[in-house]
Structure 1
Amino acid sequence: MAGRRRWTTEEILDTAAELLRTSDAESFSVRKLAAALGTDSSSLYRHFRTKTELLRAVADRTLADAMDGYRPEGDWQERLMATALRLRAAFGRQPQIAAIWGRYASGGTGSRLVMEEVLQALRSSGLPDERIPGIYHRLAILISALIAAEAGISTVTPEEHEQSMELFRVAVLGADPERFPALAHFARDVRPLGVDRQGAFVELFAAQLTRIEAEIP
């Protein structure tokens, strides 16, 4: 009788990422992954000790994919913006994994590649070394928060999106001007979440870079 196929780590991560296209971290399980691979859970635990370790590996590979082929160009602000937009694009293709990254973080090669580039860019800005770790932390929180917020919007179904739009129209255009005068005044100009997301991402991130620039001696 032929032995059961031995799956590589990359093949396991490929299948896990595919499953996560249609499910979130809560409903994802090693048992479901094993079934998709046609094997048993015990064989997967030889690669990853826990479900959390597996999810971190999936997120880390997304980070590595984002940095694949990256070459630093421009000044420190251009490098940081390019890195942030690469991460946004990579997680935009896998929004469920964005939530995993924000929740579990990662410590693999992908994470180190991102951290190295951000820290190198900050060092080239002229900031004192003692200020860089704290500023790096602020940037990391901002990027992960913006990407996670977009991911939450990206995972809704078309039916849920239409329901949200209808609720938005009712809440904004139907606002009582006596009770909500400002909302009624700006009703036709206020836009729902999800509109021009990249523009908002770039504007918020650029504002943070401007703040950092002001701290350079």
Structure 2
Amino acid sequence: MAGPDRIPVERKRRRPTRTGTVLSEDLIVTAALELIEAPGSSALTVRKLGTALGCDPSAIYRYFADTDALLLAAADRLIGDSLDGYAATADWISSLRDFGVRVHSSVLRHPRLAAVRASRVTAGPAECRAVDTGIGILLEAGFGPAEAVRHYRTFIDTVLAHAALDADVRDLSDGQRHEQARAWREVYSTLPADRYPHLHRVREHLPEMAGSAFPDTLDALLAQFEAQLTADGTG
């Protein structure tokens, strides 16, 4: 299933580049991902992509209408990669947890596409498969159609929001991450009890604030789903 901005197949002309490589959607997406994730790389442009592929930039427009369509195709590729080898089991909570962890980990491996992954719909084949898989898990668990859709939206938005946040943190410099951890350890944990009584009471646990809340949030969300299913008498 192609997104709305893909160029119809009949308009593509498979000509070799100056280096003798024959262009394809997959090859262009692979090159785009390499450019996006390259250290010090700025915004993706068709000109940069043409240079990397050894072709005239205009050739890329035979495959993608613009860089936005290309970014969505790249995001869809990463969704597919995250689900490689994935198979739901009879344990729907474990299946959904594994699904979420895979998506979260995939975003962290490609942090510069985190915002696209979190805010855009690719309408590509991988995302269609992912949505079908996630909703299918919830339907098999016993949720009705409306509940399955609502819970999947809550689930995937929660996963992607945490992934985007954790990707931003990972993209900080070593010094910035160290300073944040130091703040929780040496500033917040040592504030005077007379002015900050609640922080003082939990001071030994405040360094944990430097870590990701994703695992706890995911478990809490799945527990909420399970509790609703049990309350409805279908779990």
Give RMSD over aligned pairs.
Answer: 2.5
Q: What is the aligned counterpart of 1:124 among 111, 136, 140? A: 140
Structure 2 residue 150 is the aligned partner of structure 1 residue 134: yes
2:35–2:41 contact (8 Å) kept in structure 1: no
1:201 is aligned to 214
Secondary structure class of the residue paired with 2:68: helix
- Which one-letter code corresponds to 1:128 in the other structure? G
1:56 is aligned to 72
Compared with structure 1, are the counterparts of its residues 149 and 3 closer, same or farther at alpha carbon in structure 2 (3 Å cutoff)?
closer
Deviations 1:39-66 (A, max 9, x none): 3321112111121111111111001011
Compared with structure 1, are the counterparts of its residues 31 and 46 closer, same or farther at alpha carbon in structure 2 (3 Å cutoff)?
same
1:175 is aligned to 191
2:10 is aligned to none
Matched residues, number: 213
Structure 2 residue 59 is the aligned partner of structure 1 residue 46: no
1:148 is aligned to 164
- Which one-letter code corresponds to 1:82 in the other structure? D
2:184–2:210 contact (8 Å) kept in structure 1: no
In 2, the alpha carbon distance for the partners of 1:25 and 1:107 equals 27
2:224 is aligned to 211
What percent of counterpart residues are identical?
24
Structure 2 residue 104 is the aligned partner of structure 1 residue 94: no
Secondary structure class of the residue paired with 2:55: coil
In 2, the alpha carbon distance for the partners of 1:24 and 1:58 equals 19
Gaps of 5+ in 1: none
Gaps of 5+ in 2: 1-15
TM, length-normalised to structure 2: 0.79
My pick for the range that moved more, 175-184 or 105-114, is: 175-184
1:150–1:194 contact (8 Å) kept in structure 2: no
1:15–1:37 contact (8 Å) kept in structure 2: yes
1:76–1:122 contact (8 Å) kept in structure 2: yes
